[in-house]
A and B are shown apart, each in its own frame.
Chain A
Amino acid sequence: MASSNSSAIRRTGPMMVIEQMRRAVVIAVVATLAGIAHADTLPIVGVLAPGENGPVLHGLPGWRSNGEPMRYLDEHGRAQCCVHIAPMPLVGASTLMRDGQAGGDLYVVEFSDALVTRENRKPLLGPVLNAGVTTERRSSAGATLRQGDHRSRLSRCTTSEGVRFTLKDEGTSVVNQLYLPLGYDVTPSCR
C-alpha cells in the first residue's frame, strides 16, 4: 500500500509541479460541522490560478460550467468580467481533515481543472463568482458578496507559500477557507 512517486517525478516542469500540488491540497476549512463546502451554497465556484498553459479553475464540488462567461474578483476585490470556462468533468475526491489551527474540520474539496480563457495574459489568482452574486465594500483585503438575502465577507491573505481565502457568512457565521499553494515562497500576510 505504501507508495511514493517522488523518484518518478524528480524534476518536472515548474508549473506542472505547482498544479500537482494544488490538485492535492486545495482545501476548504469549515468551522462548523454543517457540511462540506459546495458550490451551490457558496457565492464562489472556485479559484482561478495560473496553470501550465494559462489560467485554470480549481472548482468546488457540484459546480459545472455551462460555458457562460463568469466574473472573478481581482486583487483589489473588484468583480471583473469575464472568464470563459470550458465545460469539463470534475475529478478528485473529498477527504475529511482536522484543522488544529482553526479548530474546525478541514475538507479537501473536489476540484476541476477547467480551462479558462481570457484576453489579459497577466497571471491571475482569484475567486470566480457564482451567477447573480454582487459585490459591495471592496478593498485589497477582500469584498462583501451578496447572494440573494445572504451576505458573505471574502478576504484573502498569503501564508508562507500559499494564498488563503476566507469566506464568512454574515448570517450564520459559518467560515469557509480555501487554501491554494503558490509553488514559491512569499512574505506571509495572514495573522
Chain B
Amino acid sequence: MPLSGAQWVALYPTSTSVSDLELDFRTSLNNFLAALTAAGASYTIAATLRPPERAYLMHWSYRVARENYDPRQVPAMTGVNIDWVHKRPNGSYDETASRSAANAMTTSYGTVYRPSLTSRHTEGRAVDMNLSWSGTLRIRNAQGQEVSIGSTPRSGANTDLHDVGASYGVVKLVSDPPHWSDDGH
C-alpha cells in the first residue's frame, strides 16, 4: 500500500464542473446559470465537488501532523489505499517519518485549519462561484417571472439575487461570499 506523503496531494482534485454535482442540485444550478447567462450576467465557478477522498486525506494528514493524532489509529477509507504508518528497515514503527509525511501533505495542501470530513461540497450539493453584471439585471426566476435587480452589489452578495437563486433551489450561504448550495449550508 502506498505510503503517505506529498504525492497524494495531486490526487482527487476539487472539481469546477457542474456535471460532477449530484443530479438534483446539478439541475437546479444549471437552470439558475442559464437564467444568469440569458440575463447577461457573468459567472466563474471555482469549486463544485470536493471529493470525499480529498477531504479524508486533508483531514487526517492535518490530525497527524498538527494535532498529534496517532497515525496507527487513522481509520481506513474505502478506495484510498494510503498507508499512514511508516516503518524502519527492521519493520518497527517510525513515528518521525509518519508525522513528517503527514506534515508534507498539510504543507502541500496549504492546510491551516482542521478540514471537515463531510460538507455540502463533498456531497456534490454546493458550488463556489463569482457573479457579476452591469447595470440592472433583468433575470427570470424559476416561476418564469422577470425580476429587475437594480440594487448593488452587482455580485453574488446581492440579496435580491439570493431570492432568485432560491427560487431555483440554489440557496446562498451569506457568511461565505462564493458559496451556494441546495439548502444554504
Q: Do A and B come from one complex?
A: yes
> Smallest Cβ distance from A99 to chain B, in angstroms?
6
Cβ of B63 within 8 Å of any chain A Cβ, yes or no, is: no
Given A2-B42, A21-B46, A185-B55; A95-B132 close (CB under 8 Å): yes
Partner of B42, one of A4, A7, A124: A4
Most buried by B among A11, A25, A188: A25
Q: Is the CB of A181 within 8 A of B155?
A: no
Cβ of A20 within 8 Å of any chain B Cβ, yes or no, is: yes
Q: Is the CB of A5 within 8 A of B44?
A: yes
> Smallest Cβ distance from B35 to chain A, in angstroms?
11
| Contact stretch, chosen from A136-144, A157-165, A166-174 | A157-165
Interface string of A11-33 (1 = CB under 8 A from B): 11111011011001101000000
CA distance A164 to B41 in the complex (A): 27
Interface size class of B (residues with CB under 8 A): 35 or more
Interface string of A144-160 (1 = CB under 8 A from B): 00000000000000111
Q: Is the CB of B112 within 8 A of A11?
A: no
With a cutoff of 8 Å between Cβ atoms, the chain B residues found around residue A14 in the complex are 9-10, 13-14, 54, 109
Interface size class of A (residues with CB under 8 A): 35 or more
Which residues of B22-42 have CB atoms within 8 Å of chain A's CB atoms?
Answer: 33, 36-42
Task: Determine the residue in chain A with the shortest Cβ distance to B118.
Answer: A185
Q: Is the CB of B155 within 8 A of A108?
A: yes
Q: Is the CB of A161 within 8 A of B176?
A: yes
With a cutoff of 8 Å between Cβ atoms, the chain A residues found around residue B176 in the complex are 159-162, 179, 181
Q: Which residues of A contact B (CB under 8 A)?
A: 1-7, 9-15, 17-18, 20-21, 24-25, 27, 49-51, 75, 95-101, 106, 108, 121-125, 158-164, 179, 181-188, 190
Q: Which 10 residue pairs are nearest across A and B when measured between Cβ atoms? A: A97-B153, A50-B110, A185-B119, A21-B46, A2-B37, A185-B116, A6-B45, A159-B175, A100-B159, A24-B130
Known: A1-B40, A21-B47, A186-B113. 16 other contacts (CB 8 A): A2-B37, A9-B45, A17-B16, A21-B178, A24-B178, A25-B177, A75-B112, A97-B154, A123-B107, A123-B111, A158-B113, A161-B119, A161-B128, A163-B112, A184-B116, A185-B122
